[in-house]
Amino acid sequence: MMHIVKKFFLGLQLDHTLSTLLSYLSVLSALILVSSVLYFILYRICNTFLLAKFSKKYNKNRLTLLYIKENKLLRALLLFFPPAFVSYFLPIIGRVLFNSNFHWIVGSTDKIITSYMLVLLAFLFNKGIDCGETIYNQYPISKKWPIRSYTQFLKIVSFLIFAVIIISNLVDKSPLAFFTGLGAMMAIISIVFKDSILSFISSIQLSASNIAQVGHWVEIPDKGLSGTIVEMSLNTIKIQNFDNTVSTVPPYFLTSNILKNWQGMYDAGGRRFKRSLPFDMNSIQPLNESLLSDLDKIPFLSDYIKNNRETLIKTGSNLQLFRVYAQAVLDNNHQIHKDTFTCLVRELPPSALNGAQVEIYAFTKTVDWKDYEVVAADVMDHLAAQAPNFSLKFLQQKF
């Protein structure tokens, strides 16, 4: 067939060199066309029969199979067939059509085909990384140890390596010479990819130290960020704020700034509330029989007053009894932790500006934001409503 093509172009009274080149291009085009047709036939067969049979046999991996189909991993693998097919027949074409003076054309074509196959190999390698990440994400450990940062870094490194190999193949030089030259360019690379290098190191720190994970509620006060981490990658961390906006920050923000991770609260099962009631210091007064008789009717205080009546008359105050009552309210609230969490009522140092402050320091059993606010508000509202029964007045600032 190749002889027929060559005779055809020689019969057109063209220059011998030109007719030889045209013959070569025609045969090469025909090979590419045939290999493309064979590729589509193979793809149809593999996609229709082999993959379908494989999916029936391994039903548990349907998600992986779906990923392979959607990301065309099978197609990326079969794309090697056309260049391999052409490369196989290339030496035969050279022997039939060319003499020794034109063998450089076959060599150049072979380099181009080899470079194309290396490009396909690079993309196939990256498709394999994506497929591996998808399989990994099916397991519960992926929630604790996401590998998105590592896969992205591996992709960047692989593309750089394949780029060096392709260039060395085209210029017919050893890849080691290029890698040696890259060593001298590390200073420039470190400047250009400074953020990527910092982000990669920070990603390792975040994963190794378990500082933050996807799904954690984090707060970065210096940057005014507070929300849930929805995605962690090599260069960016997406935080969904509570107003449903999304903030994007580099990973090293989480290691170089003050970070508050609220996940410990969820793991412990208790959320702290620390709130105070400011009282006018002029409303604090010693206890007497009349006031004790009135307070003796309040739940949680009758036993305490009965057991400590003489001491209260001598040294007690209405603010002291209010603190005792507030502590009893917390101790008898089933929505407040009492055993393994701190639960106390304390008096802060008095001042002319803030008066005498009684602080409630306790942990709710619920960590849900809405329920937590309800429990804390109920406790503070109840105590505020009971304060007048103790002859206590709140400090009202006048502006």
Q: What is the pLDDT of residues 137-181, one digit of tens each?
A: 777 777 667 777 677 778 878 887 888 888 887 777 777 766 666
**Mean pLDDT for all residues in the chain:** 78
75-104 residue pLDDT tens: 777 788 888 888 777 777 666 555 555 566
Place of tokens 């940062």: 149
Report yes or no: 141 and 195 within 8 Å, Cβ to Cβ: no
Contacts 24+ apart (CB under 8 A), 198-202: 198/250, 198/251, 198/252, 199/149, 199/234, 199/235, 199/250, 199/251, 199/252, 200/149, 200/153, 200/234, 201/252, 202/250, 202/251, 202/252, 202/254, 202/255, 202/256
pLDDT of 382: 93
pLDDT of 387: 93
110-131 residue pLDDT tens: 788 888 888 888 888 888 887 7
Task: Summarize the confidence of residues 286-310 as an average pLDDT.
Answer: 85
Task: Summarize the confidence of residues 10-19 as an average pLDDT.
Answer: 56
Task: Summarize the confidence of residues 338-349 as an average pLDDT.
Answer: 89
pLDDT exceeds 70 at position 133: yes
**DSSP three-state, residue 283:** helix
pLDDT exceeds 70 at position 394: yes
What fold does the segment set 148-268 form as a domain?
SH3 type barrels. (2.30.30)
pLDDT exceeds 90 at position 253: no
Instruction: Provide the pLDDT confidence category of residue 350 given band limits of 50, 70 and 90.
Output: confident
Ranges of each domain in the chain? 2-138, 148-268, 269-390
Alpha helices, DSSP H, located in the chain: 2-10, 16-45, 51-57, 62-70, 73-78, 81-97, 103-136, 141-144, 148-171, 175-184, 186-192, 194-209, 252-256, 263-268, 289-295, 302-307, 309-315, 318-331, 369-386
Mean pLDDT lowest for which of 46-50, 54-58, 199-203, 233-237?
Answer: 54-58
**Residues of the chain with pLDDT > 70: what percent?**
73
Higher pLDDT, 211 or 325: 325
pLDDT exceeds 60 at position 57: no
